[in-house]
Chains A and B, each alone.
Chain A
Amino acid sequence: MNDHDVIDNLAESDDCLFCSDHIEEAALGILEAEDQERFEHHLSGCSICRAELARLDTAVQLLPFAVNQIEPDAALKLRLHERFLQERDAEPTRIPSPRKSESRIRGRKAPSRPMWTFGSVFAGFCVALAVIGLWNLLPSNESSTSMSGRNFQVYAMQSSDDQSGGHIGADPDSKDGTMMAWNLDPSEKHEIWCVDHEDNRWKVDDLVVADSGSAMQTVTFPKEISTYKQIYVMRNDGTQELSVAPNQAINGDEPAPSESTPAGD
């Protein structure tokens, strides 16, 4: 059996078929934008396609070595050196996540801009929580059965590299929440994803990251938050930046499992 047959036999679902049809383009990094999202989505849940892509990558990664070696202008090193120093000094100091920050920030002068940024985002986050809380106290057809308006939880998102951090504030029985994150790379695209207990995944929204690396936005999930086993923020290279399991809140009791019927996608 050759590799071609292997791929054909692996195509067990529509998504696998789609993936096998586009896997060469993906390996070569030339997928069209509209196919990229579907491809990445499928890849995040399919170890077979991931393995196939990894095999192709071994050949693709060698392609750059085929080019003739050419020396750049000798002044390029100096230009890069100067630019590096310039950008390094202009870069805001990375802000550690709140749970680890106290010992590091205490005892040294924190740079004013990041602290301002962090402070403003955090204040905004609190205001947003308060507004959502007040909103849910108002009589409403939707909220009257399952929302008390007092069951707010704050979920701490775990960082994959211990540098970024984030929180989600939400009523677990609601579809709406507020996400706050910091120390993200603003040059990268970030997406908010969720996965339920049946391993169905949804891209919820793009996470808009400010130049300071902070982000705060309200997020509407397809289903009630308590129905997800994980909510995560993914970078455009397919790796997870932040994640949280919504059965672990940091400011209250563990939310009870929701008995409400998921609204579906």
Chain B
Amino acid sequence: MDVISMKGITKIFGSVVANKDIDFEVRFGEIHALLGENGAGKSTLVNMLSGIYTPDSGSIFIREKEVKLTSPRAAIDVGIGMIHQHYKLVEIMTALENIMLGQKGGGFLRANIIREKIEKLSQRFQLGVDLDKKVYEMSVGEKQTLEILKVLYRGANILILDEPTAVLTPQETEKLFQVMNRMKDEGCAVIFITHKMNEVLRISDRLTVLRKGQKVKTLETKSTNTKELAELMVGHPVNLAINRVETVKGKVLLEVKNLTCVNEEKVQVLKGLNFTIRGGEILGVAGIAGSGQKELCEAIAGLYPVKDGEIIFDEENIVGLTPRQIITKGISMSFVPEDRLGMGLVASMDIVDNMILKDYHKQKGFLINRKPAAEKAVKIVKQLDISTPSIHHPIKELSGGNIQKVLLGRELEAHPKLLITAYPVRGLDINVSYKIYDLINEEKKKGEAILFVGEDLDVLIELCDRIMVLCHGEITGIVEAAKTTKEELGLLMAGEKHQDMEGITRDQNS
């Protein structure tokens, strides 16, 4: 029996057709993966199930009864619970308090009875949540499990997980998969959204591929493979190999010594980092989101205050220089945040005006000549296949992926000496991602030093020369990419220190 059946769902935002006439069915007792590139319409589709959006047309049936899900409340009433990418927990409260929060009932909360119920639930699904632990003391994985327990307690038997593995280490992902399997065994329906094909193949029973707002196909996981899925997602065959370009390594271009930064709450976010990058080398940075990647990038670019330590670029300490002086020295930094726009671009301006953002000041005189920028814009639009009505169209009206291509195009086109790029392919189509890797390799061949902050460990291993792993603002290890494994990186990401860090033997008691 189909527990969820969505028929002819269409959702339009302005001129963007996010979902077009989609039919989608999920059964009880299955893990159903929703696969597609960013912008394919996965989130829009499930947001209509969780009551955040309402469809423009089409109907939703839950257990063969038509429903109008006009609010998250209405969704939970029919048993749909959603685990968002960003958790909605109160940090200073315990797990139990978070679960009880906002529940209806009499004037009093009967904590004991509720606790008993929750504990039973936790045991049944083998979640292993410590109910008295405060949320701020929890790891990302624990928080996620708590979110799951919360929606289960509210009566959900249809669970939607929106990119749940994006923030997890490989080990935590393993644990999540166990929980998901357990939920399946208990007869729940689980919808799992992702763009990682290997995870889909491992965990799901059936999967539905979306492309550009339309459903491509629903198929049995057993009968498919990575190659076919990539093809379905993109629409044509793709080559999935990244090559590591062998270069002659130049001199040390960047040397970071004991770099320490504190945030506004006086908490150390970077704890004495030491590393080097040579010309013609790609140093990858791995780590769970929020381990200090952003602070590191911004500190080098002169945007984050450095408390202690030195950043030596081309034999000169650049700590204390203004961002513009650092740009002029040949350091380019592009950080692609979750919302894509971040600080690198001006949303209401067109591509041309965004091209000149970092070099307009080099022009002589009072006025700006936009001609060279317009030529550059045309080149980048062509090279990276940016879909835009024209180069004079405000970039905020482009899709997230295209916006990002504008940013990367500009940074790569600047041909810096040190290229810092964080999450450059976040949410980009497979095709464009590979194009970006190629362009990064091009820069590497020219002898640039590259700091590549990534989230996909497979990509890091294939693309980089060495990989540095950050955990809670500390380097837990720097390893040769050719000799490491995902498991080893996973352990380092979780905070286990590498025994031999570039010859420095660490305290092994910790």
Question: Are chains A and B native binding partners rather than an unrelated pairing?
Answer: no
